[in-house]
Amino acid sequence: MTGDNGATSENLPGSGHEHGHRHPNQPDLEDGPLGYYPAMADAVAELLIEKGVFGADDLRATIDYMASRTPALGARLVARAWRDPDFKRALVADSRAAAETLDIDTGPTPLLVMENTAHVHNVIVCTLCSCYPVFLLGKSPDWYKSRNYRSRVVREPRAVLAEFGTHIAPEREVRVHDSTADMRYMVLPMRPGGTDGWSEEALAALITRDALVGVCEVTR
Amino acid sequence: MTDSSDGAFPPGARVRVRRAHPPGHVRTPHYCRGHIGEVERLCGHFRNPEELAYGRADHAPLALYRVRFRQRDLWPDYAGAVDDSVEIELYEHWLEPAR
C-alpha cells in the first residue's frame, strides 16, 4: 500500500519494523490548546454530572442516539408519502404525528415539511447559525454551515443551486426557507418519473440528504 | 401549535419588519428589516429568544409567524424569476401592519 507521502506499509509508524530512524507521531486532537468554548462545554457537562442532573452514561447515550440519526429516516417518510397520498397530506399537516405512525422521532422542535411541486422548488437554510433537521437527516454537512452557502442561497438561490448541478426551470418558483427561530424544515422532493409500482424500500434508496435539504432533485 | 385565531396577523396579512438595530441576541435577519412581506402562517407561540439568551424566561410566549417576501423586494438587483421568494420566521414584536 502506498500512502499520500509515498510511505509503504513497511515504514509506517507502529509497524514494528525497525529501520534506523523515527517518524513523527500522528497529531492528536488534544495537541493544541483547549479553546474557550470547548473548555466551557466540558465544564458545564462536568457540573451537570456532578450535581446529578444527569449521569455520564445519559450524556453518552444521548450523543450515541443523535449520531444514529441518518437521512434514511427522512427518506423513509418521503417514500411512504409518495406511495400514500393520505400519509403525504398528514406529513405536510403535522409531521410529528405522521412520523410517529412509522415510529420515527422528529425531535423536540416543530418540523415543517415543504412539498416540491411543478410550480415550487423549496430549499432550506439557516442564515443566522446552522439550524438543521438533525432528527431526520443526522449531522449537517459542512457546506450547510458555511458562510458561503448561508449568505448566498437567500440572495442568489438559482446560482447556488446551479453550483450543485441543479437547474430549476424559470417558471417554477424557488422558495427559500430561512430557519431563523423555532421551526425546522425538510423538503418533500418530487417523485421521479418511471418509478410506478416501486416498493417503498426501492423508492427510499433514491432519496438523498441533499434532496431533503433541497439543493438537488431526486432522479432515477 | 398552529392556532391561526390567536395572533394579531392572519395569513395573507401584509406586514412590515421593523427597521431597528437593538443590541443582543436578535433572530430577525438584517436583510429583511424594513421590508414588506405577507404572513404565510402563524407557527404558534414561543418564548422570546432576545430574553432567553440572558436567562430571562418569566415572560408570556410571543406569536411567531412565517412571513413570505418576494426576492425582488429584498434585493433590487435580484436576477432570478419574478415569483422567487424567501420565507422567514419572525416574532410578532418585529412586525407592524403594512398596506
Is A190 within the bounds of a domain?
yes
Residues A137 and A178 occupy one common structural domain: yes
ipTM (interface pTM): 0.94
CATH of B14-97, one of 3.10.580.10, 3.30.70.1530, 3.90.1150.10, 2.30.30.50: 2.30.30.50
Residues A63 and A120 occupy one common structural domain: no
Residues A152 and A198 occupy one common structural domain: yes
The model's pLDDT over A116-159, given as tens digits with 9 standing for 90+, comes to 999 999 999 999 999 999 999 999 999 999 999 999 999 999 99
Beta strand spans in chain B (E): 14-17, 36-46, 62-70, 85-91, 95-97
B64 vs A182: CB contact, 8 Å cut-off? yes
Retrieve residue A72's grid coordinates: 434514511
- Check if A216 is active-site: no
Residues A48 and A124 occupy one common structural domain: no
Interface test with B, best of A115, A130, A183 (most B CBs within 10 A): A183
- Check if A126 is active-site: yes
> What's at B91, amino acid-wise?
Y
Residues A108 and A199 occupy one common structural domain: yes
B29: nearest CB among A127, A177, A182: A127
For chain B, give the mean pLDDT. 93
- Distance (Å, whole) CA A122 – CA A114: 7
- Distance (Å, whole) CA B75 – CA B66: 19
The model's pLDDT over A184-199, given as tens digits with 9 standing for 90+, comes to 999 999 999 999 999 9
- Distance (Å, whole) CA A185 – CA A204: 19
Domain that holds residue A62: 34-68
Q: How confident is the model at residue A28 (pLDDT cuts 50, 70, 90)?
A: confident
Residues A196 and A145 occupy one common structural domain: yes
The model's pLDDT over A56-111, given as tens digits with 9 standing for 90+, comes to 999 999 999 999 999 999 999 999 999 999 999 999 999 999 999 999 999 999 99
Q: How many domains does chain A have?
A: 2
Retrieve residue B84's grid coordinates: 422567487
Residues A47 and A96 occupy one common structural domain: no
CA distance readout (Å), A48 to A36, A42, A61, A131: 18, 10, 15, 25
Domain layout of chain B by residue ranges: 14-97
Strand partners, B87: A177, B68
Interface test with A, best of B89, B92, B93 (most A CBs within 10 A): B89
- Distance (Å, whole) CA A167 – CA B98: 35
CA-atom Rg of chain A in angstroms: 22
Is A16 within the bounds of a domain?
no
Residues A183 and A150 occupy one common structural domain: yes
Handedness of CA A143, A147, A150, A156 (dihedral sign): negative
